[in-house]
Structures are given as C-alpha cells and as structure tokens.
Chains A and B, each alone.
Chain A
Amino acid sequence: MSLRMMGFKIGMTHIWKDMQMIPVTVLHIPDGVIVDRKTQEKHGYNSIKVGIIPIKEEKLTKPVAGQFKKIGKFFKHIYEIKDVDIPETESVNIALFSEGENVLVTGTSRGHGFSGVMKRYNFSGQPNSHGAMSHRRTGSIGCRLTPGRVLKGKKMPGRMGGKTTTELGKEIVQVIPEKNLVLIKGGVPGAKQSMVFIRKSERGK
C-alpha cells in the first residue's frame, strides 16, 4: 500500500486558476505523530503507526492508552501506514503530498436510510397520472414458471449509503502544509467533518 493519511472533510468551495473556476473539496489533514514502528523481522511487515489530535490520557480507555505508553503522548485517532519508506522523523505532514498529484480518497458515503429503487438505483418509476396506481414502486421482479425464482442480485429497495467508498483519480489542486489543508478537485465521499483517507495512486499520473 502506498502512502496514505487520515483527515477530515471540511467542505466545498471553488477557486480561480488561469481564468478557470475549479471546484474543490477542502480536507483537514492533521500532523501525525509516529507512535510506533513495525518491522519485517519482528512483525512480518513494515509499517508505522500514526496518532493524530492530542488528547488527555483520562479520555482514553486503558487498552487504547496502552499503545501510546511508549512515547508518553496520547491521541484521539490512530492509523497505520504500511510498506512506506518514511524517513526517521517523528511525524508525518501533508507536505508529503504534492500539487497535481493523483490520489484516491476513501470516506464513508452519506447515509440515505432505507430507500426505494428510484433513489437507490435510478429506476424510472411509473407515471404520476393517467390512472396509474403505482408511482415509485419497484414493479415486476421476475418472470413466471421459468426461472420460477427471483434472480440473484436483483435491485430492490434497502439501505443506501453509509458505506466505505473510494474514489479514484482525484487531483490535488493545492497543499497548504502550514494550515494542514489540502484542496482536492471535485467532490469527496461523505458528509462534512467526516473522516477521510487520502492515498497516493500507484498508477501514477
């Protein structure tokens, strides 16, 4: 896995560049303090554990706080970056990403609750008038004796959203390390303030 960092979605706005309006999503990516390092010899893989947002020890449960005992600093969130050569520093910063880079953004999509097929799968629905007695219903879900069952994977109403979603090919428009902000072109899954991961693309630009 390539370099990834955890942060939070702030919201959308637009900026102007060369007389072109660029819609951007602003992400807040806090500086991460390296809490622990895992090595090939001891753990079977190389990784670093990163903590973000300092917090008091009393706020954490004992098992969680135990992870931070070694360095004596406590954090609200902790995540792992696997198989990446991070130099012998104590922290990671958004400056590791650069402008124009192609990234993947992972977040939890907005929950829509139990939704019908029109909202969930863009079905057309039925007429609103001319004597129609159903409007937004699923309609027929199969045939008769052959095959005599409903085919697997039939699109039906159900829970929509609230799932981990990754969007590929997102372009970094601007990185502001002193404010821990990164501007990504276009939208990003999830609601404002929700947790997101940005990851360097392995496919290159």
Chain B
Amino acid sequence: MMILNELTKDYLRTDLPKISVGDAVKVYQRIVEGSKERLQVFEGVVIGQKGTGIQETFCVRKISNGEGVEKVYLLHSPFIGKIEITGHSRVRRAKLFYLRHSRKKMNKISRRKSLKKS
C-alpha cells in the first residue's frame, strides 16, 4: 500500500479545498465537447466520502426540479475544475443517507451558510 501511495502521489490534486460531510458545495466539472471545453456546476450537499489516496470519492446530493439527484465524483480527477464550499453544517453521521428520506432536512442543510471551520 505504501508503494502504491508513493506512486500515485503525483496525481493527487492539492489545489482543491478540503471538503467534509455536511458541506454545501459547488462542483465545477470540466466537460469536453469536441474541441470546446466548459465548466458545469453541480451545487448540493456532500453526503458521503469514500476511499483514500487517489481513489477517494465524494457524493453530492441536490434537489433538481423536485427530484433528488446524486453524483459521485473522484476527488483527484482532472475533470474537476474547481470546488467551492458555500456552507457547512455540523452533522453527526459519516454518511447523510437520511437526507434521501427527508426533503425538509435536506433543505435545512443545503441552505446553512455557517462556515465555522477554518
């Protein structure tokens, strides 16, 4: 495992902010269409993180046109243009899967703007 971490060290993204579960984030995904490239924004709540090193992923949930949508991103992927943290909620779970069942809680967490952590 140490050798694998050493090997993939150069591929890790250091320019992204540290995100944690409960954050309200804007993920700018690079979309390449032919020769054109643009950034697509996905704004929601981080409901889970998984994996370590180059294989680390995070899951963002948002309500899109009344329908819940989740997207899992590879954190160190070059396709992530940038990540903006717009808010943070103190949560007691590592995985916020209960947000899938409660629209009320989802709205509460995604609108909270308190940026307590440094």
A28 interface residue, CB < 8 Å from B?
A: yes
Q: Mark A156-173, 1 if CB is under 8 A from B, else 0.
A: 000000000000000000
How far is it, in angstroms, between the C-alpha of A10 and the C-alpha of B11 when the chains are bound? 19
A-B contact count (CB 8 A): 34
A14 near B54 (CB under 8 angstroms)? yes
CA distance A59 to B13 in the complex (A): 46
For A10, the chain B residues whose CB sits under 8 A away are: 3-4
Q: Is B68 an interface residue (CB 8 A)?
A: no
Question: In the complex, are the beta carbons of A13 and B78 less than 8 A apart?
Answer: no
The answer on a CB contact under 8 Å between A11 and B4 is yes
Contact with A along B37-49 (1 / 0, CB 8 A): 0000000000000
**Is A16 a contact of B11 with CB atoms below 8 Å?**
yes
Q: Which residues of A contact B79 (CB under 8 A)?
A: 19
- Chain A residues, Cβ within 8 Å of B77: 16, 21
Interface of B is mostly: helix
Per-residue A-contact encoding for B1-14, CB less than 8 Å = 1, 0 else: 10110011001000
Tell me the bound Cα distance from A14 to B10 in angstroms.
12
- The answer, among A19, A21, A26, for a CB contact under 8 Å with B3, is A26
Q: B72 CB to closest chain A CB, in angstroms?
A: 14
Contacts of B53 in A (CB 8 A): 13
The residues of A that contact B4 with a CB separation of less than 8 Å are 10-11, 13, 26
Contacts of A21 in B (CB 8 A): 74, 77
Residue B55 CB within 8 A of the other chain: yes
Residue in chain B with minimal CB distance to A24: B7
- Taking CB atoms and an 8 Å cut-off, the chain A residues in 1-32 that contact chain B are 10-11, 13-16, 19, 21, 26, 28
- Given A11-B1, A13-B55, A14-B55, CB of A181 within 8 Å of CB of B11: no
Could you tell me the distance between the alpha carbons of A26 and B53 in the complex, rounded to whole angstroms?
Answer: 16
Q: Which residue of chain B is the closest to A11 with respect to CB atoms? A: B4
In the complex, what residue of chain B is closest to A183 when comparing beta carbons? B7
Alpha-carbon gap, A26 to B79, bound state (A)? 24
User: What 0/1 readout, one digit per residue, does chain B (69-86) give for beta carbons within 8 Å of chain A?
Assistant: 000001001110000000
Interface, chain A (partner B; CB < 8 A): 10-11, 13-16, 19, 21, 26, 28, 176, 179, 181, 183
> Which B residues have a C-beta under 8 Å from some C-beta of A?
1, 3-4, 7-8, 11, 32, 53-55, 74, 77-79
16 additional contacts (CB under 8 A) given A14-B55, A15-B54: A10-B3, A10-B4, A11-B1, A13-B4, A13-B7, A13-B8, A13-B55, A14-B54, A16-B77, A16-B78, A19-B78, A21-B74, A21-B77, A26-B4, A28-B3, A183-B7
